[in-house]
């Protein structure tokens, strides 16, 4: 029992530190470093949400997305966003990611399934009224040697293998998604 509790605590701490680290990379616009932390078979999805009746079994589309990415398309996006000619991000928008409510759902020796909440506060130019993006993320982390390792950890590195972003918005409340969620 004590061992199990300790293991869950360690896992959650490890996941939280990975999420905080990834958020820092994105907030600091180190997009290529972020891309190094996704697995080669990553599935990254941001399905479109619609307002539905309560009786409807889901509000999220299975065929329509804002982003539906793999390793290659994420590489294209991160490279493009880093270009001197990506006008939507030059001057760059300023983002601050607030990660919270981290819940480990399931785990094996190789993979951890978790949920977390994310609020992104995004500002541009001299605007004092920032755009706020609110969402839940369902992630799967996988142990890979060249993944992220917190300095206290004795375990293997972590990479992002699957992410589904469940937005709280049906209309994206910011003028472009030229950022990674």
Partner 1 sequence: MSHDIEQSLSAGESGPQRTRRILDSMGETLERGEVPIEILNDEDIYQRELTEIFGQAWVYVGHESEVPEPGDYRQRTIGEDPFVFVRDEHGKIRVLFNSCRHRGANICRAEKGNTTHFRCPYHGWTYQNTGDLVGVPQKGAGFDHLEAEEHGLREAPHVDTYNGLVFACIAPEAPSLEEYLGGATWYLDMYFDLIDMEVVGDPQRWVVDADWKTPTENFYGDNYHVPMGHKSAIDVGIGSETATGEEESKLYGIADCDGHAFSIYQIESEKPMFWGHPERVVETFNHDALDDDQYEVARKSGVTLGTIFPNLSFIFLGGRDDPNKDPVGTFCLRQWQPRGPGEMEAWNWILAPTDAPDEYKERVYEVGMSTFSAAGNFEPDDIGIWDGIDEAAGSVFAEQTEATTLFTMGRGENTAATVDDDWAGPGTAYANGGVTDENQLDFYRKWHETMTTEGAE
Chain residues in the site for partner 1 (CB under 8 A): 46, 48, 50-53, 56, 61-68, 70, 72-73, 75-77, 79-81, 83-90, 124-125, 170-178
Minimum separation from the CB atom of position 73 to partner 1 (A):
5
Nearer to partner 1, 51 or 108 (CB): 51
Minimum separation from the CB atom of position 15 to partner 1 (A):
26
CB distance 120 to 22 below 8 Å:
no
Minimum separation from the CB atom of position 33 to partner 1 (A):
18
Nearer to partner 1, 41 or 90 (CB): 90
Length of the chain: 181
Closest by Cα among 116, 109, 118 to 142: 109
CA distance 130 to 174: 9
CB distance 81 to 102 below 8 Å:
no
Nearer to partner 1, 73 or 98 (CB): 73
Which residues are CB-neighbours of 125 under 8 A, at least 6 positions away? 91
Minimum separation from the CB atom of position 29 to partner 1 (A):
14
Nearer to partner 1, 73 or 100 (CB): 73
CA distance 81 to 179: 8
């Amino acid at each position: 029992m004590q061992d199990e509790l300790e293991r869950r605590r360690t896992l959650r701490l490890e996941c939280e530190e990975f999420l905080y680290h990834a958020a820092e990379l994105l907030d600091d616009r180190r997009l290529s470093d972020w891309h190094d932390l996704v697995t080669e078979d990553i599935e990254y999805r941001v399905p479109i949400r619609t307002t539905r009746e309560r009786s409807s079994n889901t509000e999220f589309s299975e065929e329509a997305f804002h982003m539906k990415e793999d390793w290659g398309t994420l590489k294209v996006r991160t490279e493009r966003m880093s270009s001197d000619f990506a006008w939507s991000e030059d001057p760059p928008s300023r983002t601050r990611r607030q990660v919270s409510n981290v819940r480990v759902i399931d785990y094996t020796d190789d993979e951890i399934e978790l949920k977390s909440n994310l609020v992104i506060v995004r500002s541009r130019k001299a605007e004092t009224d920032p755009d706020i993006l609110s969402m839940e993320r369902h992630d799967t982390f996988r142990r890979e040697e060249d993944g992220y390792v917190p300095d206290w950890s004795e375990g293997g590195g972590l990479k992002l293998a699957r992410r589904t972003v469940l937005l709280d918005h049906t209309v994206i409340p910011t003028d472009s998604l030229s950022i990674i969620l």
